[in-house]
Structure 1
């Protein structure tokens, strides 16, 4: 009977307000959001197409990059279209189950991307610190298993949150001052104790992206130690160059995400619209900037990209 009462108290839909406090700027905010989303779609689709069609790029580092592009597409497409719909006043409502689905895929793609970045850091560590074992460790089979492990890990972390949110009574509270549904944003609408949700969210953040960034940091310390032991200055610059694009992507990915996480929990004096802006930055900035960083920093990708575009123009 209690479960039935809780079920009946789930709202049929949520009303998303967008940038609460900045409603007058919604139309103007939609312009950079729309342009950045188009850039993210184009950049990641082109990157995926080039890597998948060019057999010479079927190497571990580039296959991980293709996985990263796929995760970026899911991350941005899970959130930005609804945000634009809110900004343009097309639809501000989202059903309860659609909201849980959006939350699930948003967080799943974020954790998967963090796992892929960790795998890329290990890839660079093996390539620089233990190059003789690189080809035996990073086979195509191993890369495929790492990709599946990233999805499985994300699924296992996020699946319990669906039940943690479904068990809560909401007492008719359905107004969410946000552009998309996220775990704690939904939980805070409940009229019951949400301490389990809070601790689970905190634990998963520390044990998923939190642990990943620590392991990435350790791998880069070991990489730098190996680089500085190289006798040749050219060899040092080449080794640093191979890691620079990955380091830029790590900075772009984790900085807004952790800043959003900590201000959301401890920055009680930070205005609410700043929280929402930060939450949008970490789902939009990496998908936009990752293809740009890797294209600018990686000579082989630039060459293959220009070859594919040139070939396409010739066919036309």
Structure 2
């Protein structure tokens, strides 16, 4: 089975042939609960690599340390936990009986290096046995690639000429320039702020930060700018005050799925015919 998985700091998003899924990525250590309240459809109790814990809204509300690891790299254990939980949830939601997967996941542009990608691949490649909500899983991730967050959105619209992509996440913003299908490094960057980290969670402040930082990359007001992320629709008018041609990427799903959709498009190109094409976001 082919999946695109965006293992975000606030929510994980999964896209595959059957549809989409998302869940809160809060994680905390397991503890005995005298009263077993339910907080949401993404409540999970898991055992992964010997670590027993809770995930989803359950982790967010039940433990003061229940949270998510933020930063400009996904090369850490939380990412492995998020991806394995995403696979479990996708199988459970769509009642799929499958044990072999080919996936594409993401890494922020600033840490999209061979070394960091190899750490992610090493964590996720191969056989995994784990337990979620009492279900025992035995799966194999046979193929994995690590795409650029933000840049992978190119495969949604494949814009011709110069295009700017802004991926607005909870902890980072990826601002990526693509010219005729190729990422231009000198005018692309990851900014270490996002919807959950900006002061008072102010969208105006977030938009100003995005505009200031991208203008320093020599982005022009008239450029074709495409927005993705959970707040893309509501922040668009603020971005348009400077980037007059900014628009939300046109997908059949909510803009929060832009990265995962881009990853899935890349995955189909990589794995459907067992080819290794030169795709922009690898």
Query: TM-score higher than 0.5 here?
Result: no
- Normalized against structure 1, the TM-score is what? 0.26
Which structure is higher in strand share?
2
Ranked by relative contact order (alpha carbons within 8 Å, sequence separation 6 or more), the top structure is 1
Higher-Rg member (1/2): 1
Which structure is higher in helix share?
1
- Normalized against structure 2, the TM-score is what? 0.28
